[in-house]
Amino acid sequence: MRILIQTLFILLTFGAVLSGCGGQSDAPTSAAAAAPEKTYNWKIVTTWPPNFPIFQEGVQRFADDVKILSNGRLKIKVFAGGELVPALQVFDAVSQGTVEMGHGAGYYWAGKLPAAQFFTAVPFGMNAQGMNAWLSAGDGLTLWRELYKPHNLVPFPMGNTGVQMGGWFNKKIDSVADLKGLKMRIPGLGGKVFAKAGGTPVLMAGGEIYTALDRGTIDATEWVGPFHDERLGLYRAAKYYYYPGWHEPGPVLELTVNAQAYASLPANLQKAIEVAASDTNQWMLNQFEARNMQALRRLKDEHKVQVLPFPDDVLAELHRLTGEVMDEEAAKNPAFKKVYENYRGFMADHDEWGQLSEAAYQRARGQ
Ligand code: CA
């Protein structure tokens, strides 16, 4: 307390000296410095259902953190998908400045921006650790910002599910031939690979999946992982739960900020957004890492779900087909090609290092 009082005294004295100096010089006294600091009331819209655990929960946590970090100067009101704008119009709403911020996943905008998929997930691509390294210490974030700049958006990584599950099936998958003719809810590049394997990818929002699987409109589906899949009740509609999620090995969720709104903020409030987003990015991944195994145990023990690995030859073929899909997409779209080359180069180094770090360590533990 004594130190605090001394500090305050020094600050007040220093302030008085500065004011005194200002009065003696010809420089006009700054009205801005004397006025109370400006406050900002912003809105964030998300692609998630109301109260959706971890995702929507994390966005609310982010807004609360920004309020604290900005000393109440930047208040962000959170809206779930459909509350202010439809879930899949988040990109446009933030781009046009209808709202200042959005939260979702880059691959939802694949129709408009195929290269945006690199900033969510690539089949057989990098895991959460690799994605965070590429975005934060490689060229990932620079490429992402370059891609979104013409759309008036500043993106930040804000969340990651970790490796997802491969999905729910009504029959066993013993060979690639078993994928032929299957209708599966699987989005993005993973869906394109699945089509090459002879399946039919279907796109549908999370809320429709259970009914479609239960009624046989689709034969299989992927969603997220044990924690969220249990909540959707998918174990009541399919019996076989396959791993790993080859199509989504570490999907990144994104915060998008309208570029003009972001530029209008003082540097300390911009930093509050960056710091809170970075913390939320890690917080969401931690939630999945902590909660998934408990949910998987309940699925196995209470709901008698059969949890099975995809056969090695099925994964090898899906991996090979992924290479074809990536090359075809790169040939069609220069922005996709540019990001792919950088992503692929970073992943090669990260994989090589990972072989003698993470992978070697796992083997050393007998795993
Ligand atoms: Ca998924």
How do residues 246-258 score in pLDDT, each as one tens digit? 999 999 999 999 9
Whether residue 64 contacts residue 293, with contact meaning beta carbons closer than 8 Å, is answered with no
Structure tokens at 340: 């792919």
* Structure-token match 């939260």, residue found: 103
* 240, pLDDT greater than 90: yes
Separation of alpha carbons 231 and 36, rounded Å: 47
d(CA 350, CA 347): 5
Q: What is the arithmetic mean of pLDDT over 230-234? A: 94
Place 203 in a pLDDT band, splitting at 50, 70 and 90: confident
Q: Is the pLDDT of residue 355 over 90?
A: yes
Ordered alpha helix ranges (H), 138-255? 140-148, 188-196, 206-215, 226-232
Q: Which of 62, 92, 97 is nearest to 78 (CA)?
A: 62
Place of tokens 């009101």: 77
Q: How far is the CA of 168 from the centre of ligand 1 (A)?
A: 11
Helix (H, G, I), strand (E, B) or coil at 258: strand
Cα-to-centroid distance, 222 and ligand 1 (Å):
6
In the β-sheet with 153-160, what is the strand arrangement from edge to edge? 74-79, 40-46, 101-104, 252-258, 153-160
Could you report the per-residue pLDDT of 282-303, keeping only the tens digit for each? 999 999 999 999 999 999 999 9
pLDDT of residue 36: 67
From the list 155, 303, 143, 177, the residue with the least C-alpha distance to 237 is: 303
- Signed CA dihedral, 139, 145, 146, 148: sign only: positive
Per-residue pLDDT tens digits for 54-92: 999 999 999 999 999 999 999 999 999 999 999 889 999
Give the pTM. 0.88
pLDDT the model gives residue 35 = 55
Identify any residues that bridge with 358 across adjacent strands, giving them in sequence order: none
* CB-neighbour burial class of residue 243 (10 A; exposed 0-12, middle 13-18, buried 19+): middle
CA of 143 to the centre of ligand 1 (A): 24
What separation in Å is there between the alpha carbon of 190 and the centre of ligand 1?
9
Of 105, 53, 51, whose CA–CA distance to 79 is shortest?
Answer: 51
Whole-angstrom Cα distance, residue 154 to residue 12?
38
- Distance (Å) from CA 124 to ligand 1 centroid: 14
| Per-residue pLDDT tens over the stretch 112-146 | 999 999 999 999 999 999 999 999 999 999 999 99
Mean pLDDT of the chain: 91
CA of residue 164 to ligand 1 center, whole Å: 6
Q: Is the pLDDT of residue 233 over 90?
A: yes
Question: From ligand 1's centre to the CA of 311, what distance in Å?
Answer: 20
> How remote is the CA of residue 122 from the centroid of ligand 1, in Å?
11
Percent of the chain with pLDDT over 90: 85
Between the CA of 15 and the centroid of ligand 1 the distance, in Å, is 55
Q: Cα(166) to centroid of ligand 1, in Å?
A: 8
